[in-house]
Structure 1
Amino acid sequence: MKSIKILAGIALIGLSFTSCKDEKQENAKKTIDSYVTYVDSVKNVTADELKANWKDVDAEYNRRAENAQLALADLKDNTVETEKINASKTKYEEFKNEMTTVFAPKVTPKQQLRNALFGEGKIGDDMSFAWVNAQNIHNVYQQFVHTVEDNKDSYSREDWDEIKLMYEALDSRKNTVEKEGLSSEDNRKIAGLKVKFAPMYTVNRMGAKSEENKDAKK
C-alpha cells in the first residue's frame, strides 16, 4: 500500500512538472508573439506620432526584443520562433533607418553650401568661427578656396553672395587668430589662397549675374 502511494506521488509530481513545463513554453511563445505584434503595430503609427514619442517607442522595442530573445531558452524546439524574431528584427531595423531619414532636420541649400565650404555642421545659423584656431586655420582656408574653385561654375549669384559673407567672416576670425600664435609660414600660405580667391570670386560672381540676366530676358 505504501509503495502504491509513493508511485502515485511520483506520478503526480511528474504531471505537475510537465504542466509547469508546458505553461513555461506557452508563455515563451506569447512573449515572442507579443514582440512580433509590436513591430507590426509600430509601422502603422503616423510619422508625426512616432517623431514625438520615438525614444519611448524604441525603448519599448528594445525591452520586448530582449524578452523575446530570453524566451527562446524556454522552448524545446525554437527554430520557428527564432525565425520569427529574426524577421521582425530585420523589419524593425529597416523601418528605424527609414524613420531616421524622415526625422532628420531638412538641410537648406545655404546650409549645404556652408557644410561643403567648412565641413559638416561646422558653421550653423550662429555663424560662430570659434572652432577656428592658429593650428587649423590654414586648412580651413585651403578647404574653402579649393571647394569654391572646384564648384565655381555651378554657383548662382546668391551662392556667391553667401560665399563672400562666409569669406569675410573667416577673414575676421583670422585677425583674432593672428594674435594667438599664427605661424608666419601658415600666414604666408593663407595669403596665397586669398590671392587665388579674390579674382575667382569677382569673375565668377559677375558671370553668374550675367547668366541670370539672360535667363530673365528669356
Structure 2
Amino acid sequence: MKTNYLLLGVAIVGASFTSCKSEGEKQAEKTVDSYEKYTDSVSTVTVMDAKENWASIETSYNERTAAAEAALAEFKDKAAAEARIAKAKAKYEELKSKVDQEAAKEVVPVATDRKQVLRNAYFGAGKIGEDMKFDWVNKDNILKVYNDFYNEFDKNKDSYSREDFDEIKAMYEALDAHKNTVEKEGLSSRDNRKIAELKFKFAPKFKWERMGAKAEENADAKK
C-alpha cells in the first residue's frame, strides 16, 4: 500500500512538473501557429494589392517573425518548430520577390545620354525617345506641353551648351510638327492663341541664348 501511495505521489509531482512546463510550450505553439496562418494569408494576396500595402505587410511580418523566433526557446522539439518557421518565411520571401519584381518594372532607368536627359526634362521621363514621337500629345494637353517646355527652357537656359541648344531646337520643331496634326483634331481657338503667345516669347529668347552659347564655344576654342 505504501508503495502504491509513493508511486501515486511521484506521478502527481511529475504530472504537475510536466503541466507547468508545457504552459510555455502551449503558448509558443499558438505563436508559431499564428505566424504560419499569417504567412499563409499573406501569400494569397495578389501582387498588386501586396505592393500597395507593402509597408504595412512588412511591419506586421517583422513583428510576427520576431515573436515566433523568440518562442522557439519554449519548444522541446526545437528543430520541428524551426522547420515550420522556415517554411512560413519561404512563403513570405516568395511574395516579396514578386512584389520587388513588379516594383522594378515601374522604375524608369536614369538616363545617361545627354539628349535623353533633355527629353526627360522637357516632356517627362521616358515619354520621348530618339524617334521624337508625340502620339501622347493631343488637343487636351498640348497647351500644357508647350507651357512646360517654355518654363523648362526659361529656368535652365543659362546652363545649356551649343549641343544642348541643337537638341532643344530639334525637340521644339518635332513638337511644332505634331501641333499641325492636333489642330486638325479640334484644338480650341483659345488654346491655339495661348500656344502662339508662348511661341512668340520663346523664339527670340531661344535665338539669343543659342547665339550666346555659340559665341562662348568659339571663344573657348581660341584659347
TM class, shorter-length = 0.5 to 0.7
Q: Whole-Å Cα distance in 2 between the matches of residues 175 and 148 of structure 1?
A: 22
1:175 maps to amino acid: N
For 1:71, the equivalent position in structure 2 comes to 68
Inter-CA distance 130–66: structure 2 relative to 1 (3 Å threshold) = farther
Alignment of 1:82-161 (within 5 A): 105-108=109-112, 109-161=114-166
Aligned residue in 2 for 1:8:
11
| Deviations 1:37-72 (CA, angstroms, capped at 9, x unpaired) | xxxxxxxxxxxxxxxxxxxxxxxxx7x847623416
- Corresponding pairs, count: 161
For 1:127 and 1:2, locate their aligned partners in 2 and report how far apart those are by CA, in whole Å: 97
Tell me, what secondary structure is at the counterpart of 2:158? coil
Give 1:216's aligned amino acid. A
Partner residue of 1:208 out of 213, 216, 219: 213
**Deviating runs (4+, > 6 A) in structure 1?**
none
Percent identity between the two aligned chains: 55
Mapped to 2, the partners of 1:165 and 1:217 lie a distance apart of 28
Matches within 5 A, 1:2-41: 4-5=7-8, 8=11, 11-12=14-15, 14-15=17-18, 18=21, 21=25
**Residue matched to 1:93:** none
1:195 Cα offset (Å)? 1.4
Look at both structures and tell me which one has the larger radius of gyration over its CA atoms: 2
Letter in structure 1 aligned against 2:197: G
Aligned residue identity for 1:202: K
1:177 and 1:116 map into 2 onto residues whose CA distance is: 22
Match among 170, 182, 199 for residue 194 of structure 1: 199
Equivalent residue of 1:140, what SS? helix
Distance in 1 separating the partners of 2:152 and 2:110: 22
1:166 shift after superposition? 0.7
Unaligned runs of 5+ in 2: 33-57, 74-99
Amino acid at match of 2:65: A
Q: Distance in 2 between matches of 1:175 and 1:2?
A: 107
Counterpart CA distance in 2 for 1:4 and 1:110 is: 91
Counterparts in 2 of 1:111 and 1:13: CA distance versus 1, 3 Å: farther
2:183 to 178, 194, 218: 178
Could you say which residue in structure 2 is the equivalent of 1:34?
none
Distance 2:155 2:121 in 1: 11
Give structure 1 stretches of 5+ with no counterpart: 29-61, 77-95
Corresponding letter in the other structure for 1:137: I
* Pair 21,195 (structure 1): closer, same or farther in 2 beyond 3 Å: same
State the alpha-carbon separation in 2 of the partners of residues 105 and 139 from structure 1: 25
CA contact (8 A) 2:108 2:125 kept: no
Q: TM-score, normalised by structure 2?
A: 0.58
- Give TM-score scaled by structure 1 length: 0.59
